[in-house]
């Protein structure tokens, strides 16, 4: 019998410290008016812990929500651009911390699209019958790699994300199909050249994470890339646009989401928009949006969801998800992040000071 991979558990983690647009305006030449009108962002969360700690909390919440034992998990895929370290991978840390004694794990980085790409890989492995239960994480600590001297990019991002549990079923539920794609000749539109082995033997003084960014290039190619992926997916699955109950897109910019929804003929009443409270959490946006949509009661049993995503590469993708019967958690986890005794501005102060040193002033 054909297998599917139902999403039976979900959990998010947004760190407590909040950095508002007005906080940003205290140290760089920007304003709440500029940021909100161009992006729809009002605030972002800033992590006082590593990416793996937030992922551990989100994973425990997803496991409790699913009502399973961690020992049932066969595979953990950790979608992120901001792992604590490259070797060993971060998924192995999560496998150990949650006590998933029968699981293995790997990290997956396709930039902001990493959660959907990881969801697709895990779903296909369940469909193929090689595993039965998977934990898929989309989590970022983008604040570590922000260049606070670049106001066009640093105001856009935030920390946080979520995790889901997938389990094999005979019912046509979960990620039914996905279209993953890449927009050619746009690799330089978003680049983080300091992150990777090119820098391995450079002087420490040369270590400086700086996000190179062509905002308008990204804006137009992201919309086209996501629209093409959605259209191709709907055609391939014989799905009419009217059959889509709810749209959960990557949360990078409210204007990108509004333009895409309009082109897809989906009214904003049926679109999840939460970029205002989190900013762009890269691989974390879709699981965060899914969790909030469920908490807000916007995802109902049996709904057909469309998701769409883009990120550096430019990698793009779209997915069709049939939700199951349950839209509430089976149980809540009592796992929490360690207490945070700093404000968001205090957490990022060393990085602001490094940017001031590099650029002279901000």
By the criterion CB under 6 A, which residues form the site for ligand UT7? 30, 34-35, 38-39, 112, 151-152, 155-156, 190, 215-216, 218-219, 252-253, 280, 311
Of 84, 116, 95, nearest to 284 by C-alpha is 116
Q: Half-sphere exposure (CA, 13 Å, Cβ side) for 288? A: 31
Tell me the residue nearest to ligand UT7 as measured from the CB.
215
Catalytic residue among 51, 112, 230, 316: 112
81 is catalytic: no
Element (H, E) at 172: none
Handedness of CA 234, 78, 185, 253 (dihedral sign): positive
Shortest reach from residue 21's CB to ligand UT7, in Å: 9
Burial class (CB in 10 A: 0-12, 13-18, 19+), 206: exposed
112 is catalytic: yes
Determine contact, residues 163/58, Cβ cutoff 8 Å: yes
Nearer to ligand UT7, 182 or 337 (CB): 182
Shortest reach from residue 218's CB to ligand UT7, in Å: 4
Of 215, 269, 276, 275, nearest to 247 by C-alpha is 269
Nearer to ligand UT7, 53 or 140 (CB): 140
Nearer to ligand UT7, 109 or 133 (CB): 109
Nearer to ligand UT7, 35 or 168 (CB): 35
Shortest reach from residue 353's CB to ligand UT7, in Å: 19
Shortest reach from residue 211's CB to ligand UT7, in Å: 9
Nearer to ligand UT7, 35 or 164 (CB): 35
Nearer to ligand UT7, 178 or 275 (CB): 275
Helices (H), the chain: 21-24, 32-39, 51-66, 90-98, 114-128, 151-154, 215-236, 254-264, 275-278, 285-295, 344-359
Shortest reach from residue 125's CB to ligand UT7, in Å: 27
Degrees, nearest 5: CA angle 91-92-95: 90
Q: Write out the two tokens for 161.
A: 């994300």
Catalytic residue among 65, 280, 291, 316: 280
Shortest reach from residue 38's CB to ligand UT7, in Å: 4
Q: Write out the two tokens for 305.
A: 């969801």
Q: Residue-wise over 328-358: b if at least 16 C-beta within 10 A, else e? A: ebeeebebebeebeeebbebbeebbebbeee
Of 111, 65, 126, 27, nearest to 282 by C-alpha is 111
Catalytic residue among 250, 274, 291, 316: 250
Count other Cβ atoms within 10 Å, centred on residue 285: 30
Q: Which residues are catalytic?
A: 112, 250, 280
């Amino acid at each position: 019998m054909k297998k599917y991979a139902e999403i039976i558990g979900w959990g998010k983690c947004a760190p407590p410290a909040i950095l508002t647009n007005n906080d940003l305006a205290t140290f760089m030449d920007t304003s709440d008016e500029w940021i909100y009108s161009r992006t729809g962002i009002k605030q972002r969360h800033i992590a006082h812990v590593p990416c793996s700690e937030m992922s551990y909390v989100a994973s425990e919440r997803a496991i409790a929500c699913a009502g399973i034992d961690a020992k049932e998990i066969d595979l953990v895929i950790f979608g992120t651009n901001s792992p604590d370290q490259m070797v060993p991978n971060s998924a192995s840390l999560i496998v150990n911390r949650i006590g998933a004694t029968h699981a293995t794990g790997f990290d997956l980085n396709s930039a902001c699209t990493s959660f959907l790409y990881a969801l697709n890989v895990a779903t296909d492995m369940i469909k193929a019958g090689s595993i039965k239960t998977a934990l898929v994480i989309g989590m970022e600590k983008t604040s570590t790699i922000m260049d606070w001297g670049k106001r066009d990019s640093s105001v856009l991002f935030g920390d946080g994300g979520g995790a889901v549990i997938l389990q094999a079923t005979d019912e046509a539920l979960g990620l039914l199909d996905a279209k993953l794609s890449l927009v050619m000749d746009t690799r330089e539109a978003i680049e983080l050249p300091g992150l990777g082995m090119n820098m391995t033997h450079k002087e420490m003084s040369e270590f400086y994470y700086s996000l190179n960014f062509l905002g308008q290039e990204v804006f137009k190619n992201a919309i086209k890339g996501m629209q093409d992926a959605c259209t191709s997916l709907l055609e391939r699955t014989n799905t009419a646009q009217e059959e889509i109950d709810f749209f959960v897109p990557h949360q990078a910019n409210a204007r990108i989401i509004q333009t895409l929804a309009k082109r897809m003929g989906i009214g904003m009443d049926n679109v999840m928009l939460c970029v205002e409270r989190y900013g762009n959490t890269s691989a974390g946006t879709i699981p965060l949006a899914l969790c909030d949509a469920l908490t807000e009661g916007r995802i109902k049993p049996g709904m057909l969801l469309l998701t769409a995503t883009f990120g550096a590469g430019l990698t793009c993708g779209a997915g069709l998800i049939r939700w199951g019967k349950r839209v509430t958690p089976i149980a809540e986890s009592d796992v929490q992040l360690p207490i945070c005794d700093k404000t968001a501005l205090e957490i990022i102060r060393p990085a602001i000071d490094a940017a001031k040193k590099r650029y002279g002033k901000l």
